[in-house]
Amino acid sequence: MNPSYKPLFESLQLKNNVELKNRVVLAPMTNFSSHPDGTVSDAEIDYYVRRSKGAGMVITACTYVTANGKGFDGEFGGDHDGMIPSLRRLASSIKEQGAKAVLQIFHGGRECPPELVPNGETVSSSAVASEGSDITPRALTESEVEDIIAAFGETTRRAIEAGFDGVEIHGANGYLIQQFFSPHSNQRDDRFGGSLEKRLTFPLAVVDEVQKAVKEHASESFIVGYRFSPEEQSEPGIIMADTLKLIDVLSDKGLDYLHVSLMDFWSKPRRGVDDDKLRVEYLLEKIAKRVPLIGVGSIHTADEAAKALETGVAMVALGRELIMEPDWVQKVQEGNESEIATTLSKKDQAKLVIPDPLWQAIVNTPGWFPVVD
């Protein structure tokens, strides 16, 4: 192995004493391939098995914690105990390859397609449509908010019973947790909305409920992470200064890691702070080594991954790259990084073990993946 890549393969001990074998994480990527009843399909299992041999930790696609939180066709569920056998299949298939298996838990809020939720009724923090959408969600009542908070805890319990090594709270990408934090989508005047501090109430309550479930049902080695998006394009919307406040509070919550959601690791802030540093650099300064940060965003080559680690992030997550090159970790370890694929062709589906729905999305979404004929 090239000595400059050795930092990628150093083990990492989390604060709960779990040791990850390396610094490479399979990023959570929706694959649209579960059965309509929310159970995991064989195609999904095969997809994860193919990508779990090298990474130190595998974060699954998101699973919904309530029936009205289903955000995608072909998303698998964790909203009732009947899902535990399905989740157990997924957890064991990942762990058998040598990676830690982390279940991402979420509620889609106003981003849920009406046809996927009960009575076609989408819900959110407030009755505010997403930008560009003509679907206005119904504002959740306080008691419904409390029920969803409790559901995050219950889905965590199911993840524990299913044998997962941890959960990641999905507070990113415009879904319900972010909708409560955002001044665009949250226009409430109760304890869950208003000031920045009140908009933190729901995200922090979810963290507390998840940690409570872990304390009651799991050993100390169970991993809890939190994913966030640093900014929103909409105005008013989340700005970098807001996120630094969120991160400051989360860094003292006893989480095992934080995970920033970025399309480009090297991106700079849009507004709220000066743009003379990377978003990642601002985050690392605020975190001040209190909790490990996972960086992500258009990292493809071993050089790019090693350079990302040099910023101070504890781990690098690869999403699209591990879809195109499932053997990324092994090739870097074996000194064969020149053989790493950073594009895919329309003939590669079977070789890459990609389920049909995800494959159709890849080849029919211009600009998402570098597809060559």
| Residue partners of 32: CB distance under 8 A and separation at least 6 | 72, 73, 74, 75, 355, 357, 358, 361
Which among 82, 242, 226, 103 is positioned nearest to 163, based on CA atoms? 103
CB 280 within 8 A of CB 295: yes
Which among 237, 223, 226 is positioned nearest to 204, based on CA atoms? 226
Which among 71, 73, 61 is positioned nearest to 102, based on CA atoms? 61
Q: Which among 175, 226, 257, 282 is annotated as catalytic?
A: 175
Alpha carbons 52 and 59: distance in angstroms, whole number: 10
Phi, psi for residue 339 in degrees, rounded to 5: -90, 0
Which residues are registered as beta bridge partners of 24? Answer: 316
| Residue partners of 305: CB distance under 8 A and separation at least 6 | 5, 8, 24, 299, 316, 318
Token duo for residue 42: 């064989």
| Residue partners of 50: CB distance under 8 A and separation at least 6 | 326, 352, 353
Token duo for residue 332: 């870097």
Token duo for residue 161: 């019973």
Tell me how crowded residue 208 is: count the other CB atoms within 10 A of its CB: 14
| Residue partners of 287: CB distance under 8 A and separation at least 6 | 247, 251, 258, 293
Which among 62, 40, 93, 78 is positioned nearest to 159, based on CA atoms? 78
Is 257 an active-site residue? Answer: no
Which residues are part of the catalytic machinery? 175
